[in-house]
A and B are shown apart, each in its own frame.
Chain A
């Protein structure tokens, strides 16, 4: 018995020594675990969440196979395959904070890419900071994320929603300069309120004297818009602005269309692009639509756009809408930063001949970047995406800046097409660093603080 115990003890010690002797191999990173959060259920799932998930899967498969467009041909992130852990964004901000903690603390993801809802982004950002976990917001619009706070671990790879309002106003006044009466219908939460406030302020700044007749603010997910449609009909507005999205926009269109609301009022849908193929026949001709950037139908031709179109269509069977473009921006932004950080480490490694511990120095140089190194490379970076060049130019280098575009719909042969497209440079439609969007608009779009 004693001998058996002794042998067992020796085996345990041997195993422990073996384990201790190979820390480098055991702990070496074999993949990059990315928590990906998007709506998988609820009204935002169909037009936004599910396309985003399919885009993430298609992009990860393509990048892991080393089939990304130049300069993204290295497999995965810096040679390490990307592993997705997908979570549902439905359920509200409180639930999302709990889910975020689960992703970070239990699932031990290396980073989180996610969030379509502005309320979720505002709730998650401080928690990401508290848990010190790199978090890339890929789609939410509220400018308040970086205007009201400063973050080290949080990035947003798409432009914020102020440009939607400013560019929509420019487009509207360019094409309908005689506009006199304007109304709005927007959801009563962060994104809807910001969107309307920015638009209202932009109109007042660019064309003083325009009358704001009514601003309808139904709650998120209201579903029934009969009274709101009546109020808009009674308003006799020339223009109706809306940032409604998801099932809310679809229900509103279904209820407003038979009541001839759009016969005398032009509709401006700042986030209307994903619905062009979902509501054929329900989007009236002459509707002004945006895609919250040069995404979807507004994306200029490039190898990156063609790559996304191809891999997404192979996966989903349809062309990618703007949330899919936003996902591509997030993954390519991280990839560009990752590989930039790695290249910097290799470039600054001590030359072989001069190093005392050549092996250790080389291992260190070629190791995946630490989170801090990745963040340093990500800040103020510029990278190519299917929507064009993205510059992390606001929020102390954490908030993307891009131009945007608007167009006008017409129904042809059973599909909704977008014509009369106009592009707006980022500088014209985005506030500079250090001033809130609303203050910038109210100041008459001054160039700097």
Chain B
């Protein structure tokens, strides 16, 4: 909480003074090894910052996000693969750290729920329409009614042409 507040204050200070250097802190590609830095940023974009949960690790300015980026950088330097690093983080922070939720039993509802609802809706709509079409009985006009209708139509068109 407090840290978030601190960042708000920090952000306001930056806003009031900085202007063109606003995005200074995020993603400074280190001059030392731009390739590595790109890999770090690419992986960070797939990970969630747990402090400010709607941000990725790449976007976040939280202290923890910076620490985790440092971890990722060091592990990459040590030759670890992206998969190993993701594994390292999920054993500590859980799958929640993955910004893109993986498809597994705990997320089936998330991934497939909307489609289940869509199918259920289609089914109900189909049933409803079918039921209603059964309710509307065909009632052909009797000879008398037909004569009346024709007379009315004739009178109507007669008026218009007049």
**A complexed with B:** no
